[in-house]
C-alpha cells in the first residue's frame, strides 16, 4: 500500500520537473533521434529526468525511467518508481500541448500511487490506492460510464494516422485522436474522457502513472486478453492496454476484440 508521504513526494517531483522543462519552448526545441526513427529526445527530457531521480527514489526503492539506462537492480525492490520525464516528446517538439510528466509508484508489480502533470494545460492529476484521485486539488475520478454508447475514447494520434482505428468506425463511441499515452490516461482517470486503449506495445513508463490513477479512482486497466498488467518486469514492455470502467471494457472486449 502507498505510504503517507508518497503523494507529497510525487507532487513535489512533478512540479520540480516542470520547472526544469520551463526554459525549453515547445515547438522550438532541438532534438536528437533515439535508436528508432521517430522517437525523439530533447534536453528537456533529460533535465526533467535528473530532477525526478534526485527527488523520488529512497534507499529501499528501485528506479525505471525512459531516460535512464535500465538496470536489473530494480528487480530486487518491492517498491519501484516508474517514470516518463516527458511523455509525448514528439508533441513537445511539434508544439502540440498534449505532453506530460508521468510518475508511477509500483509495489510488488502493482501501481499503487501516481501523478501526471500537463504543464501546457495546467492539469495535475494525483492519486493513490485507498486515497482516490484529484485534479488540481479537487476530488475527481473516472466518469463511471458503463456502456460504449456515447462514450468518448481517446486514441493515439499516430495509430489514428496509420489507420489502425478504422476498424472501429461503425462503433457507437466517439474517437478523439490525442498525443501522449500518459496524457490520455490522465484525462480518463480525471473523468475528462471515458476511456483509452492501444492494441500495440507500450513501455511500462508510458503507462505506470496512469495505471495507478485508474486504480486509485476505481477504474480498470487491462490487457486486451482481460489479464491485469504487472509492472517492474524484466522486459518493461506491455503488449497493449485498455483503460476505462470494468463494464465498458467488458463490452468492448466482447464486441470488438472477439
Distances (CA, A) of 73 to 2, 24, 64, 205, 220: 21, 32, 10, 17, 29
Instruction: Look up cell 501546457; give the residue.
Output: 120
- What span, in angstroms and rounded, lies between the C-alpha atoms of 103 and 63? 11
Is the CATH number 3.40.190.80 carried by domain 152-256? yes
pTM, to two decimals: 0.96
- φ/ψ (deg, to 5) at 39: -120, 80
Q: Which of 118, 93, 146, 159 is nearest to 252 (CA)?
A: 146
- What span, in angstroms and rounded, lies between the C-alpha atoms of 190 and 151? 15
Tens-level pLDDT at each residue, the chain (258 residues): 888 899 999 999 999 999 999 999 999 999 998 765 568 999 999 999 999 999 999 999 999 999 999 999 999 999 999 999 999 999 999 999 999 999 999 999 999 999 999 999 999 999 999 999 999 999 999 999 999 999 999 999 999 999 999 999 999 999 999 999 999 999 999 999 999 999 999 999 999 999 999 999 999 999 999 999 999 999 999 999 999 999 999 999 999 987
The residue ranges of every structural domain in the chain are 6-139, 152-256
- What span, in angstroms and rounded, lies between the C-alpha atoms of 122 and 141? 17
- What span, in angstroms and rounded, lies between the C-alpha atoms of 192 and 190? 6
In CATH, what number does 6-139 get?
Answer: 3.30.540.10
- What span, in angstroms and rounded, lies between the C-alpha atoms of 184 and 84? 14
Which residues lie below 8 Å from residue 171, measured CB to CB, with a gap of 6+? Answer: 148, 256
Amino acid at each position: 500500500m502507498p505510504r503517507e508521504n508518497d503523494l507529497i513526494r510525487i507532487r513535489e517531483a512533478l512540479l520540480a520537473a516542470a520547472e526544469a522543462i520551463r526554459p525549453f519552448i515547445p515547438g522550438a526545441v532541438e532534438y536528437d533521434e533515439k535508436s528508432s526513427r521517430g522517437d525523439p529526445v530533447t534536453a528537456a527530457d533529460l533535465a526533467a529526468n535528473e530532477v525526478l531521480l534526485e527527488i523520488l527514489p529512497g534507499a529501499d526503492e528501485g528506479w525505471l525511467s525512459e531516460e535512464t539506462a535500465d538496470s536489473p537492480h530494480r528487480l530486487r525492490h518491492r517498491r519501484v518508481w516508474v517514470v516518463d520525464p516527458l511523455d509525448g516528446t514528439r508533441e513537445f517538439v511539434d508544439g502540440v500541448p498534449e505532453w506530460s510528466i508521468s510518475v508511477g509508484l509500483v509495489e510488488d508489480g502493482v501501481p499503487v500511487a501516481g501523478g501526471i502533470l500537463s504543464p501546457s494545460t495546467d492539469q495535475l492529476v494525483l492519486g493513490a490506492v485507498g486515497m482516490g484521485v484529484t485534479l488540481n486539488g479537487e476530488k475527481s475520478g473516472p466518469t463511471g460510464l458503463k456502456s460504449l454508447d456515447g462514450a468518448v475514447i481517446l486514441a493515439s494520434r499516430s495509430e489514428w494516422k496509420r489507420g489502425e482505428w478504422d476498424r472501429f468506425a461503425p462503433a457507437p463511441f466517439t474517437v478523439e485522436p490525442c498525443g501522449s499515452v500518459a496524457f490520455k490516461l490522465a484525462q480518463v482517470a480525471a473523468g475528462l474522457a471515458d476511456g483509452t486503449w492501444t492494441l500495440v506495445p507500450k513501455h511500462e513508463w508510458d503507462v505506470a502513472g496512469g495505471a495507478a490513477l485508474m486504480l486509485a479512482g476505481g477504474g480498470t486497466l487491462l490487457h486486451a486478453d482481460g489479464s491485469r498488467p504487472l509492472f517492474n518486469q524484466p522486459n518493461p514492455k506491455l503488449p497493449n492496454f485498455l483503460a476505462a470502467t470494468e463494464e465498458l471494457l467488458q463490452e468492448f472486449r466482447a464486441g470488438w476484440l472477439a
